[in-house]
Amino acid sequence: DLKAFERRLTEYIACLQPATGRWRMILIVVSVCTATGAWNWIIDPETQKVSFFTSLWNHPFFTISCITLIGLFFAGIHKRVVAPSIIAARCRTVLAEYNMSCDDTGKLILKPRPHVQ
């Protein structure tokens, strides 16, 4: 049963890796776009002279990328980026009661039995 559980856990974590990689790339791209847009927004001399909303209207790249980044966080991208480690941490919590653990790939680690006297 342990081997079947380990096989299924490693299979599940390995299955999550491609999607996690894509979500990480999306998060990196949107973050870089937001940072670039913010830099252009900050160094623009017109930003100080006009109202906040007019300034945002004058910098649509920053506005759209910032809204996209906020939307991604509301959609739960922060959980999707670290999903395999969340699964492994929850399994470690459950397996601790059985004197076992697992690594980040899902391989089981059997701990020595405690000595009862």
Q: Where are the domains of the chain?
A: 1-109
Write the pLDDT tens digit of every residue in 104-117: 888 998 888 777 66
**70 dihedral zone (left: phi>0; alpha: psi -120 to 50; beta):** alpha
Query: Where are the strands (E) in 1-117, listed by range?
Result: 100-102, 108-110
**Over pLDDT 90: what percentage of the chain?**
74
Q: What span, in angstroms and rounded, lies between the C-alpha atoms of 22 and 72?
A: 13
Q: Mind giving me the DSSP string for 13-30?
A: HHHHHHHHHHHHHHHHHH
Q: What span, in angstroms and rounded, lies between the C-alpha atoms of 13 and 9?
A: 6
This prediction has a pTM of: 0.77
What count of other Cβ atoms lies within 10 Å of the Cβ of residue 92?
A: 15
Rounded to the nearest 10 degrees, the angle between the axes of helix 2-43 and helix 60-74 is 160
Write the pLDDT tens digit of every residue in 40-77: 999 999 988 999 999 999 999 999 999 999 999 999 99
